[in-house]
Every structure is written in structure tokens, then in C-alpha cells.
Amino acid sequence: MFSFGQLIFAACFVVGFTLIVIFSYRSDKKKQPGYFKGSYKILIGFFIAFSALVLIKYLTQK
């Protein structure tokens, strides 16, 4: 499906992108904390929705 090089690139991209997003979030949160009240609720909701989709896919495949 994907070559080994493409998988390595995807893994590096995901790790790099995640680190940049975390760094940006932390610096913005220090500058403007009012904008980030309750942001953890959005993250929890995202993980619940993603987990539900993965579970549905797993349960419906045979």
C-alpha cells in the first residue's frame, strides 16, 4: 500500500507537526489564557469521537 520511505516520512511528519502544535499552544496559552479556557474538553471530545469511529470500523469488518 505505502512504500517504506513513505511510512518513514509520514511518521516523521506526524511527530514534527505534533511537536510544533504543542509548542505553539503552550506559548499562545501563556500570552492569552482567556482564549484557552476549557480547551481540554474539546480534546477529550475529539478522542472519544475518534475512538468511536475506530471501534465501529473494527466491529463492522469481518
The DSSP line for 41-60 is HHHHHHHHHHHHHHHHHHHH
pLDDT in tens, 1-15: 889 999 999 999 999
Q: Can you give the pLDDT at residue 36?
A: 82
pTM: 0.61
Contacts 24+ apart (CB under 8 A), 33-41: none
Specify the higher pLDDT residue, 35 or 28.
28
Domain regions of the chain by residue span:
4-60
Percent of the chain past pLDDT 90, that is, above it, reads 69
Give the total residue count for the chain. Answer: 62
Question: What is the mean pLDDT of the segment spanning 17-33?
Answer: 92
